[in-house]
Structure 1
Amino acid sequence: MSNMSSDTTKHLQLEIVPQRLLRPETAQDLLNKILDLEGVIRLFIHGPRLPGTVPYGPAKGTALVHDSRRLIEIEGKAVELMVSVGSIRLEVTDADVKEQVHEICEKILPFPFEFREGNFMLRRQTVSGYARFGPDQDPLLVGMTDPKGKLKDQVCFIKDE
């Protein structure tokens, strides 16, 4: 297996963990403000899944209406919110961007949150990722998908580059 180490090893990884799950409007505002910054490389949201249909029980297969599962607009694109936003993980270029992200969180989030720096996303391709995507996987997708899942259901590209 070739060394698929991306140039993301020198970047900072941050995690924002609000004390509560974010409402879609708050998540939309926060994500748009963060993505407007220069120096944000990649970002993903994490939280409990919001299924589109009832997964089990007597009503299995019927449509499930949940207030948080709706379309939000991120950088001018409509994105279906498929999870309740419980945390946001992102990769930024330097400490200046980190401080700007922290300031945005303080302005938008009306409740306490944790703001951490660490390693939250894979920096190198795993063996199962290599078997699934091959040696030419985009380095920005490393650690962003489940190797057993379908790519189209997991990743939403916002920036076209």
Structure 2
Amino acid sequence: MVVVNNMTTSTKTLLIVAHAPSPNTKRLAEAAYKGANHPDLEVKVILKSPQDTQPKDVLAADALLLGTTENLAYMAGLTKDFFDRCYYPVLEEKQGLPFAVYIRAGHDGTGTKLALKTIITGLRWEWIQEAMILQGKWQDGFVEQVEELALTLAAGVEAGIY
């Protein structure tokens, strides 16, 4: 809780679920965490791996940022496992949850994006922007893009826009 002008407000929670099996994808997860934890924002940020994320984590969140790799033209298996475990337990209570995703894709990321669109449509979560696909060979600029995405989502949640 935060007290502003003698009024108590609840701090919003942003859950970041990031699959980070390599040093570069770990950098992306860290960038998301850093962006969402901007010093001007009053948002509680939780960073978890897909395998450590439980339905209770999603139920406690006011927004969710997902980071996944593209594996065999699909999302990472651990990302799919996260949805398998959490889909039905959160389905009714988290409709309208603000959602964003970044996909680290060695190829084009379209299979991963399509699969995620299907799942997110079923959950009735709200995309804050089109899926961010970090495509091709690694570029250091990916880190900045993910940090900015997380900052945008956190600022929107804090402001009540999302």
Measured against the shorter chain, the TM-score band is under 0.3
Q: Structure 2 length as normaliser, TM-score? A: 0.26
Which one has the bigger strand percentage? 2
Which structure's CA Rg is the greater one?
A: 1
Identify the structure with bigger relative contact order (alpha carbons < 8 Å, sequence gap 6+): 1
Which one has the bigger helix percentage? 2
Q: Structure 1 length as normaliser, TM-score? A: 0.26
